[in-house]
């Protein structure tokens, strides 16, 4: 019996000493957690969209009567109109990207008059109608660095614009030797393709790795436009148009968004200030 008790006591002492030794051993540090590298801030496809307003003007107005006689053009221009566009692009590195866009520019009302005053004769022609465009353009942009997640940029684009004149009408009043006469001439709707170019500037704010908001300005040169064949209200005269609007330009203000199609699932916040 005493031997059994001795064995139990020896075993208990051995267990207690082993536990004490284990308690005195240093605890191994856990393996470091894996931290994925921060995503590169360049490379990949993106989609874009914009909404905005146009502020349009036309450099000159041409027609056969105004070219042959000293007509005075007054108040010729177009009102503002909305614009919408969609596009797809690619970021090549952390400072250069490019995209192609299709843009619809809504109807802008046309206004203006051509006046002629001669001895014993006076004539005024009041013009009304509207203009709209489809614009397809390839654009390139240079990002100028990032400060507090805001990136200023500049860019340029070239492409083509389909300029359509709709509902054009010439309301004429003539006073000849004291006699007053009125005339109304209607023009068919007509569109034409033109070379177009643009210059861009703006600010981009990265909301998250896959979504960027832009506030941008664009100067657009859309080329020329002309209405279709004309017909007098009483069918007394008709024929091909002699009217043309030369060098239509616009100052556009746009709010846009970009969706990055290659954004990673894990996002490391960008530095407050980087250089492009």
Q: How remote is the C-alpha of 153 from its chain's centroid?
A: 13
Dist. CA 65–CA 68, nearest whole Å: 5
Q: Which pLDDT value is given to residue 178?
A: 75
**pLDDT, tens only, 42-61:** 579 999 999 999 999 999 88
Asked if 227 and 188 count as a contact pair (C-beta separation under 8 A), the reply is yes
Q: What is the pLDDT of residues 123-149, one digit of tens each?
A: 999 999 999 999 999 999 999 999 989
Radius of gyration for the alpha carbons in the chain, expressed in angstroms and rounded: 36
pLDDT given at position 177: 74
Give the separation between CA 224 and CA 195, rounded to whole angstroms.
9
What is the per-residue pLDDT for 179? 80
**Fold (topology level) of 49-274:** Porin (2.40.160)
CA distance 27 to 8: 30
- The string of pLDDT tens digits covering residues 165-210 is 999 999 989 888 778 888 899 999 999 999 999 999 999 999 998 9
CA 189 to each of CA 8, 81, 166: distance values in angstroms, whole numbers, following the listed order: 111, 19, 5
pLDDT for 36 beyond 90: no
Q: What DSSP string describes 189-224?
A: -EEEEEEEEEEEEEEEEEEETTEEEEEEEEEEEEEE
What is the 3 state secondary structure string of 39-57?
CCCCCEEEEEEEEEECCEE
Nearest residue to 228 via CA among 243, 206, 208, 212: 243
pLDDT tens digits for range 244-275:
999 999 999 999 999 999 865 444 455 555 55
Confidence (pLDDT) at 7: 46
Coil, strand or helix: which one is 249? strand
- Tell me the three state secondary structure of residue 11: helix
Which is nearest to 240 in space by CA: 49, 30, 64? 64
Q: Residue 86: count other Cβ atoms within 10 Å of its Cβ.
A: 13
The mean of the pLDDT values for the chain is 85
């Amino acid at each position: 019996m005493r031997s059994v008790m001795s064995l139990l006591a020896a075993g208990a002492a051995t267990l207690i000493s082993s536990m004490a030794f284990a308690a005195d051993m240093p605890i191994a540090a856990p393996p470091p957690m894996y931290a994925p590298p921060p995503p590169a801030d360049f490379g990949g496809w993106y989609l874009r969209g914009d909404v905005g307003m146009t502020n349009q003007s036309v450099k000159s107005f041409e027609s056969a009567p105004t070219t042959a006689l000293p007509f005075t053009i007054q108040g010729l221009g177009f009102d503002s109109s909305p614009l919408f566009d969609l596009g797809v692009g690619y970021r090549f590195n952390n400072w250069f990207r490019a995209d192609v866009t299709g843009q619809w520019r809504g109807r802008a009302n046309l206004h203006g008059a051509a006046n002629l005053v001669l001895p014993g004769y006076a004539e005024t022609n009041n013009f009304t109608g509207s203009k709209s465009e489809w614009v397809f353009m390839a654009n390139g942009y240079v990002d100028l660095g990032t400060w507090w997640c805001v990136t200023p940029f500049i860019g340029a684009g070239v492409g083509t614009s389909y300029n359509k004149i709709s509902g054009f009408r010439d309301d004429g009043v003539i006073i000849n030797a004291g006699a007053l006469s009125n005339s109304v001439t209607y023009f068919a709707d007509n569109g034409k393709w033109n070379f177009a170019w643009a210059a861009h500037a703006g600010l981009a704010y990265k909301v998250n790795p896959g979504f960027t908001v832009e506030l941008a300005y664009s100067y657009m040169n859309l080329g020329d436009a002309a209405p279709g064949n004309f017909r007098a209200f009483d069918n007394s005269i008709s024929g091909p148009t002699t009217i043309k609007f030369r060098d239509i330009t616009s100052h556009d203000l746009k709010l846009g968004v970009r969706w990055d199609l290659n954004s990673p699932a894990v996002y490391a916040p960008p530095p407050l200030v980087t250089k492009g």
